[in-house]
Every structure is written in structure tokens, then in C-alpha cells.
Structure 1
Amino acid sequence: MLVEDQLPLTQTLTQSFGALGIQVSSCADGLLADTTLHQHAFDIVILDLALPGMLGIEVLRRLRQRGDKVPVLVLTASGDTYDRVQGLNAGADDYLAKPFDLAELEARLRALYRRSIGAVDSAVGVATLVFNTVTRRFTIGTHPLDLPPREHDLLEALIVHAGRPVSKLVLTQRLSGCEAVLSNEALEIYVHRLRRRLDGSGAKIETLRGLGYVLVAADDTPA
């Protein structure tokens, strides 16, 4: 459930998560959000604090007063300490200040969801390439793989969906965050750089024409 009154941001997040198979319901009004959350169950809630109709902090208070334990990530317009403390005291599980990086939002949501279902496995891997979803660090065997921010975000997007294609649209949006969308040409440069960094890991990035890119073990053939 996404409660956000900025339509461009709502559209971007809905499209990005939808491409990953995540169903998103959204509303731009605090009163409507309160009613919807009272009537329907969700796996996780992204809640902006500055909303028309009813402030997000009141939506959160009412949610917790009803005994609803759904994980809530609060969006704040700034990194102001008061806003963070207010949200956490009202029952938020995490917070993120605007503008934010899409990759960080996805990572925080995954962590919240894992905790809510009691999941303990924090590592995903392909061959000797391993990604820790809690620390967000890569290793190849026992050696750390340190990457520039955009290459890191690109490889993270591929490894958490290992064996499944991720479209160029999703990847360019992820690398762009809330800024102008990255070009396909720039994306191809980052993919080329990553392929060289993965030499010897047993993992490789395949291009699937019309579908995007997929991370697989070097001896596997993508479906």
C-alpha cells in the first residue's frame, strides 16, 4: 500500500514495483488511506507524512490503535530528527527521507518484509558471487567485491532476481532514482563494466533480446 500525494512519485514507484511482480495499491488522501487500511490487509505500507485530508502521522496512530501490526515505512520530506522521532514513536518500523534512492527503498522494504514473516536467510548468490541483503555487500568467494554506487545497484537488482530477466526500463529507473531517467546506452556501459568485474566468479550477465538482462551461473542457460 502506497500512501503518497505526489502523482509522479506514485507513478514511478507503481511502475517499478509492478515490473518486479509486486502489486501496488495507492491513494493520495489521508482519510481514504485510513479507511482503506481499516478495511483491507496489506503486506507492507509506505506512508508519506504530509497528506491532504489527514496527516500521515494520524493515519499511522489510528492503524496501531486498531492493533494492526503491518510493517510501515514512513516517508519524510526532510531528514529532520523531529519527523523521524515522531514517526517511530507513533509506530513506524522504518523511515526514509525524500529525495531517496529507489534501490535503498527496495532494500528497506525487503528487510521489513523479511522480519514480518520471520525470514532469517539474508544471503542470495549465483556461483561464488554472494549478496548479503542486510549489509548490502557483495563477495566473490571470501573476497569482498566493492563497486561504484550505480554498478552496485545494478548488480543488486540482478542478483535478487537471479535466473529471471529484469527489463531495461526497470534497471534505468533504479539507477536514476528520482532524477532524470538514465539512457539505455549508459545502462549498457554499466553492464559491460560489471561483466568484466564478474570474471572468475562463475556468474555472468546474459542479454535477453526484448526482455532485458538476467544474472545466471556461467554454465546455465537462461530460460
Structure 2
Amino acid sequence: MRYLLVEDNRELADAILGRLALDGHAVDHAASLSEAEEWLATAGYDLILLDVMLPDGDGRDFLARSRAHLETPVIMLTARSQVSDRVGALDMGADDYITKPFDFSELEARCRAVLRRRGGAARNQVALGQALFDPLAGTLSHAGRTVELRNRELRLLEVFARHPGQILSKTQLMDRLFAQDADVTENAIEVYVGRLRRRIDGMGVRIETVRGLGYRMETGGP
């Protein structure tokens, strides 16, 4: 998953960035609404974590203006705990609302819940050949056992699972796996694809190399 965090408190932002990175998510950070607009103009996101009080405006007003063209789910982050504040944020288009200070496990759970709702499924499980993949729970099951995936392998499988049969270039995969300021090259994609291929070997799903174009996931193979 690729997230955009809009938060001007540097200490809190660093803590959130670090926690989400541990789960293998790519997260870009904006400290103001103007920076958020710049990120949104150049990249696509699965989820936005949006603070209410920012140096150049109110996150709720920004969300209300953006909802006409912004379909990305949004969770508001705020120190305000009044019911009227929560209701106002939801009415302006927020998908959820979490009050500071919060436990990071609760934030992660709310992110998963919002993404499940947007995906239109109760558990969001996907059949991949003979395996069953749940990207939000972070599990891959095959032949009655759970296959252990490292976080980056998990996120890569998630990208392929969301685009079955579609050719994805190395650039597209880098965009989904790494924040824009990450110091990585396309060689990293080759490494992670190789690791993932070994993990899913024998599950009736394979990742093909399309020479000169990228990679494609196909099911039905050995």
C-alpha cells in the first residue's frame, strides 16, 4: 500500500512513518496542505492520513474541496474529541476519524478497516491459483499452511494481486513499493520479484517476465 501522511508535527510524523514502514508500506510525508497538493498531483495513493490543523489551513476544508475529484479514502487525525468535530469531518468526506493521542495498533486497525470497506469485502481475500491471499491481514495460505512473507514481498504480491494479467513496469512497481524520496534503483524490484517467485512456487500462480516491458502475474500454471 502507498499512503500519504499530512502532518506538521515532525515527531509524530516520524513515529507514524516508522511504524507504517515496518509493515512494508510506502509512505510520503507532507507537512502542509500545499505540500499535500503537490504529492497528490504527482502520485496515486491507497490511503491518506490527514491532520486537521495545519500551518496553511484546515484539513477538513481541504478535504471538502478535494472530494469532487479525490476518491482516495481519508482518515482524519486530530486532537479534537468533540462529537460535533467527528461528525463534521465525516460529513465533509472523511472515511474515519482518530483522536490524538492514539495507539499505533489502533491506527493500523483503522487503516485496514477503511481499506476493507473501500474494497467492498468483509475480509478482502483473493484467490491466487491454489493459494488464498489476504492483503489486509497480511497472510498467504496454501495447502493448509500459512506461508511467511516479508513485508516488502507481501506488498509486492498485493500489487500483482490487484492487477491480475496486467503488465507492470519496474517503474510502476517502484512507485507502489517505495516512497518518492527512497534511495533505491530498479535492481531492487528484480531482487524482490525473485524472492516472491520462490515463495509462490508450486501454488498455481506465477510471475512472468515480459521482456522490455516488466512483469505480469498469471494463474493456472504449475
Whether TM exceeds 0.5 here: the answer is yes
Q: Paired residue for 1:66? A: none
Q: Quote the offset at 1:120 in angstroms.
A: 4.7
2:73–2:115 CA contact under 8 A, matched in 1: no
Letter in 1 for 2:52: L
Unaligned segments of structure 2, at least 5 residues: 7-32, 101-108
Moved more, 161-170 or 183-192: 161-170
Residues 84 and 146 of structure 1, relative CA distance in 2, 3 Å threshold: farther
Residues 72 and 147 of structure 1, relative CA distance in 2, 3 Å threshold: closer
Q: Quote the offset at 1:10 in angstroms.
A: 2.0
> 1:162 and 1:195 mapped to 2: Cα distance?
15
> 2:76 and 2:132 mapped to 1: Cα distance?
30
Residues 60 and 145 of structure 1, relative CA distance in 2, 3 Å threshold: same
Q: Paired residue for 1:56? A: 59
Q: Quote the offset at 1:210 in angstroms.
A: 3.4
Structure with greater contact order relative to length (CA < 8 Å, sep ≥ 6): 2
How many residues are matched? 173
Alignment pair present for 1:5 and 2:5:
no
Residues 168 and 94 of structure 1, relative CA distance in 2, 3 Å threshold: farther
> 1:219 and 1:204 mapped to 2: Cα distance?
7
The structure that is strand-richer by fraction is 2
> 2:48 and 2:174 mapped to 1: Cα distance?
25
- Determine which of 119, 132, 135 is the counterpart of 1:114: 119
Moved more, 45-54 or 179-188: 45-54
Q: Quote the offset at 1:9 in angstroms.
A: 2.2
Supply the RMSD in Å over aligned alpha carbons: 4.2
Tell me the TM-score normalised to structure 1 length.
0.59
Q: Quote the offset at 1:191 in angstroms.
A: 0.8
Unaligned segments of structure 1, at least 5 residues: 18-43, 64-69, 98-103
> 2:192 and 2:155 mapped to 1: Cα distance?
10
> 2:214 and 2:113 mapped to 1: Cα distance?
25
> 2:112 and 2:174 mapped to 1: Cα distance?
17
1:49–1:74 CA contact under 8 A, matched in 2: no
Residues 157 and 62 of structure 1, relative CA distance in 2, 3 Å threshold: closer
Q: Quote the offset at 1:187 in angstroms.
A: 1.0
Q: Paired residue for 2:26? A: none
Q: Quote the offset at 1:182 in angstroms.
A: 2.6
